[in-house]
Amino acid sequence: MPFFDDSLLDDRDALAAADPMLRRLAQAGARIRTEAEQATDALAAVSELSRPRAVIVAGAEARLVRALLEPTCPVPFLAWPRHGLPGWVGALDLVVVLATDGADADLIATAHQARRRGSQLIIACPQPSAIADEVGGRDTIMIPTRTGDVLAAAVVMLAALHRMQLGPQVDPESVAAAFDRVAEDCSPFLDVSENPAKDIALGLAEAQPLVWGGSVLAGRASRRVAEALRAASGRIALAADSSELLAVLGGVAPKDLFDDPFEDPQPEERRPALVILDDGTGDQLTLRAQYALRDVAERADIRVCPVTFGSGGDLDRYAGLLQTGLYAAVYLALGLRRTVWQDDPL
């Protein structure tokens, strides 16, 4: 069972081994700026499109687009995860395809159906790519992507949908700046007393992570952070609603004061630690749920690791919460002497 070595969080050799992932996280803002610069002409073109009867989004981060648009979108909105399109989609509707790998067979089929039915079609993809070659045309608006970052492409697509008056304002530069702030705050060159991500990693060192986000976007971030923590630690990490987490926390016995703090617990004996993602947008029900979680955790002597990012727009706050959690996952893997995963966490 790996023992968490907190000295590795400031060890130059250990940090050098994790440099590829830390560097990728640090460059998230730059990737958004790159994609936004590539999309200047496409963003101008979407402003000329008429309002559709409905919006259907397919591909990576479709659910993030839904989370941001659903509260304010003036027309029906659907995040579509399957091959093809629903039968009712036609010429009055807008189909949005996020295809940053450019060659997904299901997304190509979805785009083909949209074009056959005469739907408005916007595709974010590399150029050239299989989907651009097969589905591109005069009536298709292409948002060129270059970095392969699915979240960066989604940010630009959300900015395009705002120009069509289908969603809230999204400023790619502001989102990029939010990523940059987290990169500065969570820099590997800052020790644990100044680095919130290293502090979270310490809090999760020997724990079973439970992750909660109160708002719709914080909840979305909680699922992504839980995925990263699972990959980083090899442990179960659960992201869930407050009612489900209260049931888990309520079944934890208070900590035994005579437990040996240096004894490595077995997986079934790991105590949970609660990670709370707070974007500062919660209503009274959300705040009440957070207080309930904190109260149960305190009574059972369960560590609470708060992550707060309350400045900027909704997507800026989502970016701040997500990125802090991803940095924490890297530092957790580092302290456990596990290989830092190389798949794109975004």
Parse the chain into domains and list their residue ranges.
6-18+188-335, 30-172
Q: Is the pLDDT of residue 264 over 80?
A: no
3-state SS record for the chain: CCCCCHHHHHCHHHHHHCHHHHHHHHCHHHHHHHHHHHCHHHHHHHCCCCCCCCEEEEECCHHHHHHHHCCCCCCCEEECCCCCCCCCCCCCCEEEEECCCCCCHHHHHHHHHHHHCCCEEEEEEECCCHHHHHHCCCCEEEEEECCCCHHHHHHHHHHHHHHCCCCCCCCHHHHHHHHHHHHHHCCCCCCCCCCHHHHHHHHCCCCEEEEEECCHHHHHHHHHHHHHHHHHHCCCCEECCHHHHHHHHHCCCCCCCCCCCCCCCCHHHCCEEEEEEECCCCCHHHHHHHHHHHHHHHHCCCCEEEEECCCCCHHHHHHHHHHHHHHHHHHHHHHCCCCCCCCCCC
Token pair 């580092």 is found at 334
Q: Is the pLDDT reported for residue 260 higher than 70?
A: no
* The two domains 6-18+188-335 and 30-172 share their CATH topology (first three levels equal): yes
Contacts (Cβ under 8 Å, ≥6 apart) of 44: none
Give per-residue pLDDT as tens, 106-144.
999 999 999 999 999 999 999 889 998 888 777 799 999
Model confidence band, residue 53 (pLDDT cutoffs 50, 70, 90): very high
Mean pLDDT (the chain, rounded): 91
> For the segment 287-320, what is each residue's pLDDT rounded down to a tens digit?
999 999 999 999 999 999 999 998 899 999 999 9
pLDDT, tens digit, 9 for 90 and up, residues 70-88: 889 999 999 998 788 999 9
* C-alpha–C-alpha distance, residues 222 and 214, integer Å: 9
Over range 251-260, report the average pLDDT.
70
Percentage, residues of the chain above pLDDT 90? 80
Answer yes or no: is pLDDT of 331 > 50: yes
Which residue has tokens 């803002």? 29
Classify domain 30-172 at the CATH superfamily level: Glucose-6-phosphate isomerase like protein; domain 1 (3.40.50.10490)
Please state which architecture CATH assigns to domain 6-18+188-335.
Answer: 3-Layer(aba) Sandwich (3.40)
What integer is the mean pLDDT of 234-257? 88
**Where does the pLDDT of residue 346 fall: very low under 50, low under 70, confident under 90, or very high at 90 and above?**
very low
